[in-house]
Structure 1
């Protein structure tokens, strides 16, 4: 049956409960969980499916998030890679020290699941469940967010314009998406912090390390992480505004061999390289009317500690349970409390990420930090690898399982 259009050539307004903006890990998790508790939604993504599938960022799904997916009956979405054995290697001036980031609790642990694998698995699960996922949605705009029924308008790939009326909008489209900018100036506070540190990130078809590796040396920080059975991601400390073009292959591999203290490091074809600044950002509150910010639309973290994607998955879980309570039982308590509950973990993870970022960088090259801060950072690393109490606190933060953990699951 042909779709009805109004006099302006726009499709007649559709209706749904939740419009999800963005089909990355946050948006697809929201969509899948909503389907699991019987709440209808429409997902709008400005990119193509192929483009979304190519985006590569995070690689480890933390313990809390793995158990969250299991509790919703979605365990398969994180089975794109081997379980993380819990060991994290700190290589300090060439000397290897290992920290176990498992907290000893019963149940599944973290998994090595690259972001693009998680996204593809979540996409497949959502579509198999009959989900409505619309790619190449351009010119998305949000209207009447403080009313009872907001409206989302967009232009489809064929040029037709569409309008969707809904109860809630989930803003899962990242820092530069339309949802965060839809919050009027003065309504929210944006807290920012710039570490003054840059990273060159390199993706290569090269053998992964036996364990995630963080290396501290006078030449600067470096890291080596698995991204698949034959793929690795590397990080090299560099000036914040460095040009990736200044890092030809030979320079990359020479720097990695030196900083990782591994003269025999096996190189491979480099498939992607870019530079970025390490920084933190928090949008507070994470709600405006019926718009709820989820993931990178609300917060950005330094990659240290692997909290960015995992924090987005936490937001998604809280948001869906709040919507479920409101739709099923007419109880909007969790919706009203959404921002406060999210921000409690956001600031905790920001602090952990900040602590680890400063520690591994200041412990190495002291050009900016100076010898006093360098020795303090070295003391923190020594405590981490020698003190059972410090190791337990570190494991608790890495797993995401704090003692006052939130309820999870579709009960």
Structure 2
């Protein structure tokens, strides 16, 4: 006991009353994934939007099948199929305005195509022919990101910069469930919430990070619940319900544009095919599990809704499939043409102003190519 305590002069003050900085209740996601198709909410959905979503889903399914076939023909080095996840891919692309930015992961080639990028250019990176394959500024689509979750901080940075400049721009960043285990995911969400950046995070929870199931990655009730820890709303949606995904993302984009800050959306979906053409998914999941999810196919769900409401007939469905076949035929024909490659492209688009080291390397390669040419001419 101190001297002050002995004299009775020491009176420890009680701690100040603690109050949460933010009421967590409005941030919590629904207890079950939000759905539209097959519910009363479907009657309020815009028929033109539903038909547009359907056309893109059918094209997307055929695009995935054709790209997968190209890997077997040696025309693509690798292809991470999004078959079964088309509703997430299409909704993410269609929900954005022209001025907005899309930040895709390596599996989101379909979203890139739905955003308006040429299908061949969207596959060029996976073909191994170019750094990106398309001009990111032309369609406001960032390069396909192969490292997990590294595109998320980039999306936050762009959205924050746009807000500082007063530009009316929203960034939508896509990531898989495996990407939520990366440090970039934490950093991006933390900064986005602190800065109240106009960015939407779409997590496509397709069940597996390659071969690792979700329950071996996190003990959280859902990935959407992670939003609460950062101080942003979390939304849980049926990722195979194209109308529901579009509605939830539209709400999140609108909120971000109006200054409400970021939102984390978890779309519960399923990867119907292997992780890539180099993966054997039969080693970590049963065929019965895949078949169960086939009954919840995003195209079948939407076609059933459209048919029951009289919004599409057999001719309409056939027309969508014919357009998809035209897309596949054009993609197949152009991808079967050998690319004309220039070795000097290795040094293009690396720096705005080439460094001395880069110029030196370029000169060395030019000399080697010239010597090779001279030897061939003799």
TM-score range, shorter-chain basis? under 0.3
Which structure is higher in RCO with an 8 Å CA cutoff and minimum separation 6?
2
Taking structure 2 as the reference length, the TM-score comes to 0.23
Between Structure 1 and Structure 2, the one with more helix by share is 2
Taking structure 1 as the reference length, the TM-score comes to 0.22
Bigger radius of gyration among the two: 2
